[in-house]
Amino acid sequence: MPLLTMTNVQKRFGSLSVLNGIDMSVEVGQVVAIIGPSGSGKSTLLRVINGLEPIQGGDIVVDGISMASGRGLHEIRKHVGMVFQQFNLFSHLTVGGNVMLAQKLVLGRGKADAEKRGRELLAKVGLEEKWDAYPSQLSGGQQQRVAIARALAMDPRIMLFDEATSALDPELVGEVLGVMRSLANSGMTMLVVTHEMNFAREVADRVLFMDQGRILADGTPDEVVAQPKDARVQQFMRRLTER
């Protein structure tokens, strides 16, 4: 059974239709890169999966839980981690506070357990010594790695990345991609909206190309990035390589 299934998902902002019947599913352990022009609905696709945006039609099922069911939204959120372009670390909390807050409040973990798990994950992203630092004392790359650790601390089944490296100085992109790469290698199921074609080619099992709220292409990196069949995708790739 797929870990994530979207059936005929519709999303509108007022009269603007942003997702036009999305059908797709993601298997456990798959790493899916999502590419496409700006405004095509990539962020919205991620945001409906953890319920940051309500949908107007269709259904989303994560790990057997339907978004449409009573506690669906709450349960799904617990299983889905999200990493944002702007990091969004809680600025009034230390790194430790950031990775522990939701563990304590949402999972009901005690302080000792939350700290243990938090330190484990910070070590994984190479920032264990920053436990007492505040976000403002960290570089963008470090903040994003903490944000990844914070999401992982909830033991999610799926991780969503929305242009996680787009706000970073070029020299800091590598450290974040490195963390994402090792996460992918560890078997995490990931949906990654990205402009990093190398990452899509090397790490993703599958690439989705979105345009105007639809999935125009869905295949291996080779099929979608290297030798696209669809004219729109070809055009997008040409523009990308011209830059």
Partner 1 sequence: MNFAPVWASRWLLLDSFLTTLFLSAIAIVVGTFVGTLVSVLRALNIGVLNVILRIYVEVFRGTPLLMQLFFVYFGLPMLGIEVDKFWAAFSAISLYTGAYVAEVLRAGVEAVPKGQVEAATALGLSFGQRLWYVVRPQALRVALPPLVGVYVAIIKDTSLATVIGYNELMRRAMELVLQYGRPLEVLLTVGCLYFIICFPISKFSEWIERRLARNGA
Ligand X SMILES: Nc1ncnc2c1ncn2[C@@H]1O[C@H](COP(=O)(O)OP(=O)(O)O)[C@@H](O)[C@H]1O
Give the residues lining the site for partner 1 (CB under 8 A): 50, 52, 74, 77-78, 80-82, 84, 86, 88-94, 101-102, 105-106, 134-137, 147, 150-151, 154
Of residues 190-229, which lie at the interface with ligand X (CB under 6 A)? Answer: none
Nearer to partner 1, 92 or 243 (CB): 92
**3-class DSSP state of 132:** coil
Residue 54 in the binding site for ligand X (CB under 6 A): no
Of 19 and 114, the one with the shorter C-beta distance to ligand X is 19
* Alpha carbon distance 73, 71 (integer Å): 6
Shortest Cβ distance from residue 42 to ligand X (Å)?
3
CA distances from 50 to 46, 55, 60, 217 (A): 7, 11, 9, 23
The answer to whether the CB of 89 falls within 8 A of the CB of 100 is no
Look up residue 38 and give its DSSP letter.
T
* Residue placing its CB nearer to partner 1 in the complex, 106 or 226: 106
* Residue 175, H or E segment: helix 170-185
165 belongs to the binding site for Mg ion (CB under 5 A): no
Name the minimum Å distance from CB 134 to partner 1. 4
167: nearest Cα among 176, 155, 179, 156 = 176
Binding site partner of 15, from Mg ion, partner 1, ligand X, none, Cβ cut-off 5-8 A by kind: none
Helical H segments across the chain, by residue range: 42-49, 72-79, 95-106, 111-124, 140-152, 170-185, 197-203, 221, 231-242
Q: Which of residues 2-41 bind ligand X (CB under 6 A)?
A: 13, 16, 18, 36, 38-41
Smallest separation, CB 13 to partner 1 (Å):
15
Give the interface with ligand X as residue ranges (CB under 6 A).
Answer: 13, 16, 18, 36, 38-44
